[in-house]
Structure 1
Amino acid sequence: MSEVAVVVACQRDGAGGSPTAVLDDAPFTDEERCRIPATLGTSHAVFLRPTGNERRRPAYKLRFFTAQGELPACGHGTVAALAVLAEREGGDHDYYAALRTSQRNFDGRACRNGDGVTASFDAGPVSLRNTGGPELRSVIGGLGLSEDAVAGDACVASIGRPRLLLPIRSRAALDELIPDLTLLRAACDGYGLLGCYAYSPPDRHGRAAARMFAPSIGVPEDIANANSTACLAAHAAGFGIHRLAVDMGDHLGSPSTITATAHRDRTGHRIRVGGQATIVRTVMR
């Protein structure tokens, strides 16, 4: 029997958030790992494996699964994992961990915030490239949009896997999106994209809204997508915006907010992304 924590990650004002399953890894098959999200009513599951200590911090390997298979990274899943680890090991102090995925090592931290936890992590390097032509037309066609609905330059951003960042002229227009998921999946599969992160341009305070569609990985629409928000933060930093708060999940009845900050070092812009999380229940499986 394994204890599974169901965590709502990236909440807004203590409500909403993306339900995520977090549990210690074991000799599961990948098929068994894929069944856990559907069994518990979450979009993702995160599996934790302790690997000792690094830099005087507890170290963990993270693996992320949806019903469709394994992902190389999951931002809100990382926030959920940090909430669970902080609850187990952090006590009343801020919690720091060395985290590892199949692709990279990075740091995470969490602190208690009332009944929940505020967690953040180093998102790692983000690559950006311009897009247009057939690639852009194919994706916006899957969203049921015309090109004049795009509010600025779209780009493809990668933080492990590429996804299209698509600026939409307003929050109202973003709310009205009704994608054809079959067409959108075909477009994303055809161009090797994880999905499309459609967003309203940030205001002068760095507030924005977004919707993430990723039918190719079994997530028609994501309640909260921290890694795509980190990608947007890297893109926005090029325009002098260094702090974002992005609202998601309203269309799905689960309001969420992801925060991201950008600062420059010798390697370019470094992004830190995170949000609030609460463990809502634990179950035995």
Structure 2
Amino acid sequence: MTTTHNQEVLRYTAFSADPEGGNPAGVMLDATGLDDTDMLRIAAELGYSESAFLTPPPEELAGGGTAPTDGTSGIRAYTIRYFSPQVEVPFCGHATVATAIALAERTGPGELVFATRAGTVPVTVAEDEGGALRATLTSVEPKIEEIADADLAEALAALDWPSADLDPALPPRIAYAGARHLVLAAATRARLADLAYDFDRLAALMRRLDLVTLQLVWRESADVFHVRDPFPVGGVVEDPATGAAAAAFGAYARELGLFPGDAAEDTILTLHQGEDLGRPGVLTVTLRPGDPRVRVGGTGARIG
């Protein structure tokens, strides 16, 4: 494989303005000519939970021609694929945010649209009051389903979590907003902090249920949550900040009625993740009235 300067692998963190926080992702802004084997190899060499690879957009997004990439007009469109060190995943929120910020640093803030395996994902990049770039993605339409008792028991056994340690106000569900995640709520912050699970056992269950991560949550207040995401199917013990799971959790929160059903304004949830790994990050989840999709936003920074 021959690469050019445009095929440089960039390193960005998402959901933190500090390169030492958030979730690192590899970003290749031009993956033209790379095949699946190349992308998987690059992702494995980087060792991050996911890396993102951009190629030209499909015809329906390109509008029959080349999408503008200079930031001067129109919506910039791309095809994006995500690889963990072991497998391709259909959608990855933190790598989407990292890629959007990398693009905005080169072509300016604005509207982007990514064609993912899960569907079309729009992203808006804007400057905050301090001048930092902030990217907000809009998920595909989500789905929520119950988990079978036997599968729940196996998940808890793999985690070594007694069922009594779950929060009865937040029942287990499988939530999807581009990728499938099992949402389990801990009754205490101490339960969430004590994470030592059977890697192979949990990975086997997740493959059978087609889960990307487990979204383990603890509710600090009405709209503030702490979360952790085991990711053994990707070859990673824990994901430091998980945008896809945050989108799925937003759909879960709406389904369970954790916010007023007659809300006339946006509902904002704040998710803290990565603190237990020494890589703190903040994910903002927005639920809009009348729109089933979930918006997930955060800052980012280039690493090194």
Common fold by TM > 0.5? yes
Q: Equivalent residue for 1:274? A: 297
Q: 1:202 to 1:243 in 2, by over 3 A?
A: farther
Aligned equivalents of 2:111 and 2:215: distance in 1? 30
Aligned equivalents of 2:20 and 2:111: distance in 1? 25
Report Cα offsets for 1:150-174 as digits up to 9, x if no partner: 1031101122332210010122210
- Structure 1 position 104 matched with structure 2 position 119: yes
Q: Pairwise CA RMSD of aligned residues?
A: 2.0
Considering fraction of residues, name the structure with more strand: 1
SS of structure 1 residue aligned to 2:288:
strand
Q: Equivalent residue for 1:147? A: 163
Q: Identity of aligned pairs, percent? A: 28
SS of structure 2 residue aligned to 1:76:
helix
Q: Which amino acid aligns with 1:272?
A: R
Q: Equivalent residue for 1:46? A: 52
Q: Equivalent residue for 1:62? A: 80
The unaligned stretches of length 5 or more in structure 1 are none
Q: Equivalent residue for 1:16? A: 21
SS of structure 1 residue aligned to 2:247:
helix
Equivalent residue pairs, number:
275
Please state how far the C-alpha of 1:273 moved relative to its aligned partner: 0.5
The unaligned stretches of length 5 or more in structure 2 are 58-65, 261-266
Q: Conserved in 2, the CA contact under 8 Å of 1:211 and 1:222?
A: yes
| TM-score, normalising length: structure 2 | 0.84
Which range is displaced more, 120-129 or 32-41? 32-41
Please state how far the C-alpha of 1:45 moved relative to its aligned partner: 1.1
- Structure 1 position 79 matched with structure 2 position 85: no
Written as runs of structure 1 = structure 2, the 5 A alignment for 1:1-285 is: 1=4, 2-11=7-16, 16-23=21-28, 24-51=30-57, 52-53=66-67, 56-90=74-108, 94-113=109-128, 114=130, 116-152=132-168, 153-204=171-222, 206-237=223-254, 238-240=257-259, 242-265=267-290, 268-281=291-304
Please state how far the C-alpha of 1:224 moved relative to its aligned partner: 0.7
Aligned equivalents of 2:84 and 2:19: distance in 1? 25
| TM-score, normalising length: structure 1 | 0.89
Report Cα offsets for 1:8-62 as digits up to 9, x if no partner: 1111677501111111112122222112233234221111123333992111111
